[in-house]
């Protein structure tokens, strides 16, 4: 059965979230992403269920209360301004997000088995790397990469692609379980573009007969689902930096990010 892989802004909105992608909506088994917008003085309470969650400020500050803990997230002015702090909320718990000045907050989630402790992730401890070179340079914030922050299944990173550059390049995939070589991971790309009327492009091409095939013009608030296939490049419009949040999870016993590059597009670009 075919599924819609490019989700334009507003198409998954409901009474609680401006974007709400759960496994049922995505047509898969593990990865989730929600965006909640709070007005000044607003609160949002949710039950984590069978998933672990990271609460990540996109714009603004908030207080997260869960399991007897209270975390003050300083947040940031925008996703283009800086790295942010964040909070981890375990499965089988209740959490509340409260914001005095209001803001927008991402909830990156993954179905999981272990109930890990609630924790605060300080912004200064987020590893940041410059990946690629030339017009393929991008800046990766590995706040919840597999080797930076402990989760049961969830992997999540942020990427800033300067205007006119390519990222997620060369095209790569992670849709097969091949121990030591490739991990099977479902992935969500959530986009924001700096400046009015900005846009970018996202490509997903088949890695198998009948596989995922997308070429989408993306704008702020859009998402692209990657259940399988070669993904990349992500292309930023000249003059408009592009942000995306990657949320990944899969069935593997070991939480790891192992990818396979497209053999036709690897020369000089890793």
Q: For position 63, what pLDDT does the model report?
A: 98
Q: Decide if 269 is inside a domain.
A: no
pLDDT bin (cut points 50, 70, 90) of residue 267 is low
Q: For position 264, what pLDDT does the model report?
A: 87
Residue-averaged pLDDT of the chain: 96
Please give the average per-residue pLDDT across 158-170, as a whole number. 97
Q: Decide if 1 is inside a domain.
A: no
Q: Decide if 268 is inside a domain.
A: no
Please give the average per-residue pLDDT across 172-192, as a whole number. 97
Q: Decide if 267 is inside a domain.
A: no
Domain with residue 76: its CATH number is: 2.60.120.10
Give per-residue pLDDT as tens, 3-57.
799 999 999 999 999 999 999 999 999 999 999 999 999 999 999 999 999 999 9
Residue 68 pLDDT > 60: yes
Please give the average per-residue pLDDT across 138-158, as a whole number. 98
Q: Decide if 123 is inside a domain.
A: yes
Give per-residue pLDDT as tens, 56-67.
999 999 999 999
Q: For position 265, what pLDDT does the model report?
A: 83
Q: Decide if 270 is inside a domain.
A: no
Number of domain units in the chain: 1
Q: Decide if 89 is inside a domain.
A: yes
pLDDT bin (cut points 50, 70, 90) of residue 1 is very low
Q: What percent of the chain has pLDDT over 70?
A: 97
Q: Decide if 174 is inside a domain.
A: yes
Phi, psi of 125 (to 5 degrees): -95, 0
pTM: 0.97
The residue range of the domain holding 232 is 6-253
Give per-residue pLDDT as tens, 74-112.
999 999 999 999 999 999 999 999 999 999 999 999 999
Give per-residue pLDDT as tens, 205-217.
999 999 999 999 9
Residue 124 pLDDT > 90: yes
């Amino acid at each position: 059965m075919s599924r819609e892989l490019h989700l334009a802004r507003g198409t998954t909105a409901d009474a609680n979230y401006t974007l709400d992608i759960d496994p049922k909506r995505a047509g898969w088994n593990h990865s989730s992403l929600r965006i909640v917008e709070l007005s000044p003085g607003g609160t949002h309470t949710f039950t984590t269920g069978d998933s672990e969650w990271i609460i990540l400020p996109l714009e603004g500050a908030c207080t997260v209360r869960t399991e007897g803990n209270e975390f003050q997230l300083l947040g940031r002015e925008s996703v283009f301004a800086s790295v942010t702090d964040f909070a981890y909320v375990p499965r089988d718990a209740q959490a509340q997000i409260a914001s005095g000045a209001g803001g927008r907050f991402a909830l990156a989630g993954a179905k999981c088995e272990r109930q890990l402790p609630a924790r605060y992730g300080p912004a200064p401890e987020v590893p940041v790397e410059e990946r690629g070179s030339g017009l393929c340079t991008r800046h990766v914030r590995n706040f919840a990469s597999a080797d930076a922050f402990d989760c049961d299944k969830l992997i999540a990173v942020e990427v800033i692609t300067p205007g006119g550059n390519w990222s997620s390049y060369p095209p790569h995939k992670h849709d097969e379980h091949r121990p030591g070589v490739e991990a099977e991971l479902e992935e969500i790309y959530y986009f924001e573009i700096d400046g009015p009327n900005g846009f970018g492009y996202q490509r997903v091409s088949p890695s198998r007969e009948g596989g995922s095939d997308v070429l989408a013009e993306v704008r702020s608030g859009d998402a692209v689902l990657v259940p399988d296939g070669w993904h990349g490049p992500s292309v930023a419009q000249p003059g408009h930096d592009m942000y995306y949040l990657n949320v990944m999870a899969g069935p593997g016993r070991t939480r790891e990010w192992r990818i396979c590059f497209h053999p036709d597009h690897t020369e000089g670009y890793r």
